[in-house]
């Protein structure tokens, strides 16, 4: 199925949040299923699969539709588990054991190790999974989510200030005052609304004056 990829993807600053945001669009309160192609694109963009592996993984929806669907089901479940847990953190509610079970399930079935990986001119710790089954493709996402939930850094986890928008992000900004998933979308939309409100107020004042 075709997905509009022309819209800029808001930066959520954490792999687990970017994945959790995948079926959400900026400014949109609706959650849709994840599509196979966008899932593969996401894995490639986040360097979870290499350029050489990408055609093989993408073709799975044709060559092994059962395996592809099973992986997509795991991905959906993981995404829902992450969103439910992150929203609970935002509301300062307890996270229930059954909510994190899909995260633990991925962590359990994926064995691997950490290693240093180049990241531009810097180095980062990267997770290298043992490639058995396909769930390993979700390992880094599950791990990123588990770290965020275990870390308890609730003050940096935020939801877009647009009430209609469900996008989550991690505020890495120096001032810690980021409010919008995307300035270009929700930020500007809110500014335009505030401007319209101000104009209306002034218009009403002017009318009252003339009356």
Please give the distance of CA 22 from its chain centroid, rounded to a whole number. 5
CA atoms within 13 A on the CB side of 155: 4
How near is the Cβ of 187 to Zn ion at its closest, in Å? 8
How near is the Cβ of 13 to Zn ion at its closest, in Å? 14
Cβ(182)–Cβ(158) under 8 Å? Answer: no
State how beta strands 157-159 and 122-129 pair: unpaired
Whichever of 81 and 160 has its CB closer to Zn ion, that residue is 160
Whichever of 58 and 83 has its CB closer to Zn ion, that residue is 83
Instruction: List the one residue from 12, 22, 148, 165 that touches Zn ion (CB under 5 A).
Output: 165
Instruction: Locate 74 and state its tokens.
Output: 């795991």
Q: Identify residues 170-209 at the interface with Zn ion (CB under 5 A).
A: 181, 186
| Non-local CB neighbours of 27 within 8 Å, separated by 6+ positions | 160, 162, 164, 165, 181, 185, 186, 189
Instruction: List the one residue from 160, 168, 170, 189 that touches Zn ion (CB under 5 A).
Output: 160
How near is the Cβ of 29 to Zn ion at its closest, in Å? 10
17 binds Zn ion, rule: CB under 5 A: no
Using the contact rule CB under 5 A, the part of the chain among 36-44, 52-60, 107-115, 157-165 near Zn ion is 157-165
Instruction: List the one residue from 61, 110, 162, 190 that touches Zn ion (CB under 5 A).
Output: 162
Q: Identify residues 81-140 at the interface with Zn ion (CB under 5 A).
A: none
- CB neighbour burial string for 17-32, b if at least 16 within 10 angstroms, e if fewer: bbbbbbbbbbbbeeee
Q: Which residues bind Zn ion (CB under 5 A)?
A: 26, 160, 162, 165, 167, 181, 186
């Amino acid at each position: 199925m075709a997905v509009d990829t022309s819209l800029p993807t808001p930066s959520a600053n954490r792999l687990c949040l970017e994945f959790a945001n995948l079926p959400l669009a900026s400014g949109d309160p609706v959650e849709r299923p994840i599509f196979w192609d966008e899932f593969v694109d996401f894995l490639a963009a986040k360097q979870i699969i290499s350029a050489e592996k990408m055609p093989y993984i993408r073709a799975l929806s044709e060559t092994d539709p059962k395996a592809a669907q099973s992986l997509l089901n795991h991905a959906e479940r993981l995404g829902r588990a992450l969103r439910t847990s992150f929203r609970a953190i935002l509301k300062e509610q307890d996270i229930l054991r059954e909510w994190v079970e899909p995260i633990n399930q991925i962590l359990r079935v994926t064995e691997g190790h950490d290693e240093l990986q180049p990241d531009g001119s810097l180095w980062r710790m990267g997770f290298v999974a043992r490639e058995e089954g396909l769930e390993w493709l979700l390992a880094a996402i599950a791990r990123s989510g588990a770290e965020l939930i275990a870390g308890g850094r609730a003050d940096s986890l935020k939801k877009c200030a647009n009430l209609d928008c469900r996008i989550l992000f991690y505020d890495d900004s120096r001032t810690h005052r980021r409010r919008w998933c995307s300035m270009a979308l929700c930020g500007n939309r809110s500014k335009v609304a505030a401007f319209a409100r101000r104009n209306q107020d002034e218009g009403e004042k002017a009318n009252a004056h003339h009356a």
